[in-house]
Structure 1
Amino acid sequence: MSALALAACAAPDGSDAIDISDSDSSLVWASWPSYIDEDLSGSSATLKAFKKETGIEVEYKAVVKDNVGFYLTMKDQLSLGQPTGADIICVSDWMAARLIRFGYAQKFDSANMPNKANLTKTLSSPEFDPKREYSLPWQSGFIGLAWNAEEYPKGLVSVEQLWNDDLKGKVVVLAEMRHTMGMLLLANGVDISDGNWGIDEFKKASAVLETHLASKHILGVYGSDYLDKLKSGEALAGFARAGDVAVLNAQAGYEKFKFLLPGSRGTFFTDSLVIPAGAQHKANAEKLMNFYYDPAIATEVVEWIHCVSPVDGTLEYAIENFPKLASNQFTFPNATAMSRASTFRTLSTTDDQSFNAEFRRITGKG
């Protein structure tokens, strides 16, 4: 049984956690690298504004490299309802669903979060948290193909082209099973958002991954550190998040890397904020979420990280203040852009365990 397939019996729900927010104006935020308006010195203008407005000091820790690896660092504390070292965490929706199901997430006090009303309707009622009482979306985004336009100017238009001979040993894929396998399944003609497929289709796609890992055509399977491989030139192409590519180009000062959704489509994901069981600064964390659900603040973050904001009003703010950003279809996608991406379907416990076991067997990840 995988480490994620834990029994939910007698799991804490955070209701017994002691909140010391009234006496301690601080919190720790565990999230992904390059997922906030953070400059090269590590300073965030919005976090400074939050402290000025509320007096709350935030320690932002970019320690989430992949969902499973991060979960394993805190699963023991979560199972006991003890502090994990973070008061608010950012994980993908499927992991948020697990935490909620196991009783590892604290229920929000909506009175501290009036700006929650700005949550876009399309993300307001997921199956795993219908009233968004335990999770709140941070950002969404696209997974597609990326390449170094300087070193590989011929570019890519399909997943199959990743296996070109001139890219041998220069391809990266992602440690998130749904990201990598979603792209490979789509390339095989599988509608990943539809429920009419299972382990047979999964294994057919995973065989492609296994073949190219065994031949060392794929450089490796990475969490967020895949960006380091692209930046260094050790990798020239692979699967990537659109927002990450935008950040790489901003750091380079020009459009060094290209990103597109192949003809077989890309994937669309959402990452959400959760207050873990045992967290002792719950009210402070709720104030933080409320702050970032102000459309002006949310747009400032998007202007840095180029993801898709879940906050209504950001497009209008961007049109007025960041017109170039407002026209970016990977940041403010229209219906045409969204039609080119698919969301990985919700998995049953059986499929989840079998898919992850197969992915782990091949990659050693998860």
Structure 2
Amino acid sequence: MRKPPRPPLSPEARAVLSATGLSRRTLMRGLLAGGAAVAVGGALAACGTKPAKRSASEKAACVGTDVSATEKKINFSNWPLYIDMTDDKKRPSLDGFTTKTHIAVTYTEDINDNNEFFGKVRNQLQGCQSIDRDLMVLTDWMASRVVALGWTQPFDTAKTPNFTKNVLSALRNRPWDKDMNHAAPWQSGLTGLAYNGKVTKEIRTIDELLTRPDLKGKVAVLAEMRDTVGLVLLSMGKDPATVSDADYDAALEKLKRAVASGQIRKFTGNDYKEDLAKGDLAACIAWSGDIIQLAAEEGSQVKFVTPEEGLIVWSDNMMIPAPATHKANAEQLIDYYYDPAVAAQVAASVNYICPVEGAQDEMRKIDPELATNPLIFPDAAMLAKAHDFRALTEEEDKKYAAKFESVRGA
């Protein structure tokens, strides 16, 4: 049945929606567009009263009592379609964990958007109340916010030796988790360029994408602000990890010129995949995981390109909420997924960047072709060109998103 059209969003709601990360996750996972309405509601709730940052003494007082010794279970919230799964819907790596540890895992795919999830749990976390989860997976920018608020428990690194030993060097000692005890990357991804070789020649730079005459009207950029603006900043010689308001505004002006000239056809979520595969789009800003899938199709000439200026890198991170009551069990699960053999098992299914050293050798036993894919196992040269976007405060997030939406014309 055809759904009735939804009423248009207010400018404020559109700005919040852009800041949520919805395009990357909800659309990437192939969820129905109707989920956007839910995401906006959660995001708007998340942008109400500014949550207070906990002091050191408040953090110490707001930690769940660990009952792992007597309750062998974990509640684990993750994104949809983000773990190895068989045709009959079994999750072999989770089953392997339970067999090894006798810890039962309730695995829930209930994180469809960072701000939506934040909106669901913020009142409980702020009030030191249980959210009925022992692990949650959040993208860098939201993860850094939750850590800064004091809403997570630190890992006991003595109990996570695989993580400490095997996490990729590029993901160590991040500015918002310098001691590596609040966030363990689950999977990572890259944002760069893609083109269809059936309809255009190779593209190498963001400037080509935004100005090359033969691409006019055949270009898409992502509706995810951090990805699109991050790459434009790199094309201007600016580092997204240290972006200033002036740099951001200059990048938007450059993007605005490409929109006004007709160079950019549209801003998209991962629905660019179908248009790129058909040749309706010649080139676009793209996510590495999507392009692995397109490139694998028979006869495909779709290719992922590392822009000369650099890439945007992002990670989704396992975190233990402060009120969680199965911390030791959660630490065992984190460490289990940093066993290279287990990590390779997951990577073979989900096709994102594997954050675990040694997993590439294990992947050769599973799928030698995947083991040589630089979008799953990037080499040092590729990682050296990867940049992340600076963690924004809630106020900056809303301000930057509103400016981005004005350029999109959404």
Partner of 2:273: 230
User: 2:359 aligned with 1:314, yes or no?
Assistant: yes
User: 2:129 aligned with 1:129, yes or no?
Assistant: no
Give the one of 136, 140, 154 matched to 2:188: 140
Partner of 2:94: 47
The residue correspondences of 1:1-366 to structure 2 (distance < 5 A) are: 6-9=51-54, 12=59, 15-39=62-86, 42-120=89-167, 121-147=169-195, 152=199, 154=201, 156-160=203-207, 162-163=209-210, 168=217, 171-175=220-224, 177-193=225-241, 195=242, 198-209=244-255, 217=264, 219-220=266-267, 222=269, 226=270, 228=271, 230-231=273-274, 236=281, 238-247=284-293, 252=297, 255=300, 257-319=302-364, 321-345=366-390, 353-354=395-396, 356-363=398-405
- Cα displacement string for residues 125-167 of structure 1 (whole angstroms, at most 9, x for unaligned residues): 22322222222222333211235667x5556433345557867
Aligned equivalents of 1:274 and 1:131: distance in 2?
14
Aligned equivalents of 2:309 and 2:151: distance in 1?
37
Aligned equivalents of 2:389 and 2:220: distance in 1?
23
Read off the aligned partner of 2:382 and give its amino acid letter: A
Q: 1:245 to 1:55 in 2, by over 3 A?
A: farther
Does the 8 Å CA contact 2:289/2:351 hold for their aligned counterparts? yes
Aligned equivalents of 1:88 and 1:50: distance in 2?
15
TM-score, scaled to structure 2: 0.72
Q: 1:42 to 1:248 in 2, by over 3 A?
A: farther
Q: Secondary structure in 2 aligned to 1:331?
A: coil
Aligned equivalents of 2:86 and 2:259: distance in 1?
35
Q: Secondary structure in 2 aligned to 1:146?
A: strand
C-alpha displacement of 1:173: 0.8
Q: 1:287 to 1:198 in 2, by over 3 A?
A: same
Aligned equivalents of 2:217 and 2:311: distance in 1?
22
Does the 8 Å CA contact 2:170/2:383 hold for their aligned counterparts? no
Aligned equivalents of 2:181 and 2:379: distance in 1?
28
Read off the aligned partner of 1:114 and give its amino acid letter: P
Does the 8 Å CA contact 1:141/1:242 hold for their aligned counterparts? yes
Does the 8 Å CA contact 1:14/1:104 hold for their aligned counterparts? no
Read off the aligned partner of 2:246 and give its amino acid letter: D
- Cα displacement string for residues 177-224 of structure 1 (whole angstroms, at most 9, x for unaligned residues): 33222112112332334x4x51111012123445667879554454xx
Read off the aligned partner of 2:325 and give its amino acid letter: Q
Structure 2: runs of 5+ lacking an equivalent: 1-45
C-alpha displacement of 1:296: 0.8
Aligned residues: 353
Does the 8 Å CA contact 2:75/2:132 hold for their aligned counterparts? yes
Aligned equivalents of 2:309 and 2:106: distance in 1?
40
Identity of aligned residues (%): 29
Q: 1:62 to 1:221 in 2, by over 3 A?
A: farther
Q: 1:287 to 1:166 in 2, by over 3 A?
A: same
Does the 8 Å CA contact 2:220/2:284 hold for their aligned counterparts? yes
Bigger helix share = 2
Read off the aligned partner of 2:396 and give its amino acid letter: S
Read off the aligned partner of 2:402 and give its amino acid letter: R
Q: Aligned Cα RMSD in Å?
A: 3.6
Q: Secondary structure in 2 aligned to 1:275?
A: strand
